[in-house]
């Protein structure tokens, strides 16, 4: 299999206002200097339009979307709305959304809505600290992925992000061997579950930093989902540079 360009996705979570658009431009500049990697930035919905206009050369994503295409859902933002604002991708099933009530059925519906709106989808899955400690991590992650995937899904527009819940924002990361084992398990599960031949990228996310980028990318060569470190331009710059050098 030919090696794909690693994809590095920043997830700004609930951070960023107009005054931070300079950081978006800095990240786009870094990405432009390193054509050997792909870079995308998942921003708060309020910044998508401005960021996409400022730097059409950078892939901009949303961090969530509503499952319904439209309706009486005060505060909701549909997939078509984020696409209209200039996003080309969206995260669904992030553990911070799952912990606020997004169950597998809802994640499935969001994924379908997002693909129907023409967006690429990053589906996040990850095991709890208990499952990890009990050695059930790979099994739990694969089961969560299967439960979150609709029966018909455009594989070529699907990206799976393995994000151990206990690693997000904690500074703790799994070993390279653990990441490799889960990535392999997810790849096998996707191959077994049919629906087309496209093999979705499988990213790793959770406390990615410049110090562990090379190790984690070796274990998850398709790419990384980066939270806190993507908010610090110098750190994300280093992550992109290290990933480009490793390619
Ligand atoms: P983190 O977040 O890099 O800050 O751990 C990753 C994520 O939540 O996607």
The pLDDT tens digits for 75-102 are 999 999 999 999 999 999 999 999 999 9
Digit-coded pLDDT (tens) for 170-197:
999 999 999 999 999 999 999 988 655 6
Ligand 1 centre and the CA of 195: distance in Å? Answer: 30
Residue among 38, 94, 96, 144 flagged as catalytic: 94
Ligand 1 centre and the CA of 39: distance in Å? Answer: 16
Place of tokens 């439960």: 147
pLDDT of residue 192: 86
| Mean pLDDT value of segment 189-216 | 90
Digit-coded pLDDT (tens) for 114-168:
999 999 999 999 999 999 999 999 999 999 999 999 988 899 999 999 999 999 9
Nearest CA to ligand 1 atom 3: 227
Nearest CA to ligand 1 atom 2: 227
- Ligand 1 and 205: CB distance under 6 A: yes
Instruction: Identify the burial level of 143 via C-beta atoms within 10 angstroms of its C-beta, where 0-12 means exposed, 13-18 middle and 19 or more buried.
Output: middle
Place of tokens 């070529």: 156
- Ligand 1 and 43: CB distance under 6 A: no
Ligand 1 centre and the CA of 120: distance in Å? Answer: 19
DSSP-based three-state secondary structure for 121 = strand
Ligand 1 centre and the CA of 164: distance in Å? Answer: 10
> In the structure, what pLDDT confidence band is assigned to residue 113 with cuts at 50, 70 and 90?
very high
Q: What is the b/e burial string over 44-60, where b = at least 16 CB atoms within 10 angstroms of the residue's CB?
A: bbebbbbbbebbeebbb
Ligand 1 centre and the CA of 124: distance in Å? Answer: 11
- Ligand 1 and 7: CB distance under 6 A: no
- Ligand 1 and 168: CB distance under 6 A: yes
Task: Name the residue of 11, 223, 232, 236 whose CB sits within 8 Å of the most ligand 1 atoms, as the mutation to test its pocket.
Answer: 11
pLDDT of residue 151: 87
15 flagged as catalytic = no
* Mean pLDDT score across all residues of the chain: 95
Cβ atoms of residues 209 and 8 within 8 Å: no
Percent of the chain with pLDDT over 70: 97
34 flagged as catalytic = no
Contacting residues for 137 by C-beta, under 8 A, at least 6 apart: 127, 131, 164, 174, 178, 182
Q: Is the pLDDT of residue 1 over 50?
A: no
> In the structure, what pLDDT confidence band is assigned to residue 237 with cuts at 50, 70 and 90?
very high
Cβ atoms of residues 233 and 239 within 8 Å: no
Digit-coded pLDDT (tens) for 39-69:
999 999 999 999 999 999 999 999 999 999 9
């Amino acid at each position: 299999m030919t090696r794909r360009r690693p994809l590095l996705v920043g997830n700004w979570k609930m951070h960023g206002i107009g005054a931070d658009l300079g950081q978006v431009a800095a990240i786009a500049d870094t990405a432009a200097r390193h054509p050997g990697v792909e870079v995308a930035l998942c921003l708060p919905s309020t910044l998508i339009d401005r960021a996409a206009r400022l730097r059409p050369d950078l892939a901009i994503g949303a961090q969530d979307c509503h499952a319904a295409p439209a309706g009486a859902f005060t505060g909701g933002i549909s997939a078509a709305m984020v696409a209209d604002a200039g996003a080309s991708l969206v995260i669904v099933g992030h553990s911070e959304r799952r912990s606020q009530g997004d169950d597998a059925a809802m994640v499935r519906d969001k994924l379908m809505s997002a693909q129907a709106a023409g967006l690429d989808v990053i589906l996040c899955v990850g095991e709890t600290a208990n499952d990890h400690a009990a050695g059930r991590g790979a099994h739990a992650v694969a089961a969560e992925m299967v439960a979150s995937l609709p029966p018909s899904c455009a594989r070529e527009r699907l990206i799976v992000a393995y994000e151990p819940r206990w690693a997000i924002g904690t500074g703790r990361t799994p070993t390279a061997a653990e990441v490799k084992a889960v990535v392999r398990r997810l790849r096998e599960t996707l191959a077994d579950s049919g629906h087309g031949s496209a093999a979705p990228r499988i990213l790793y996310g959770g406390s990615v930093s410049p110090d562990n980028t090379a190790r984690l990318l070796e274990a998850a060569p398709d790419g990384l989902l980066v939270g806190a470190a993507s908010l610090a331009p110098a750190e994300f710059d280093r992550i992109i540079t290290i990933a480009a050098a490793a390619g």
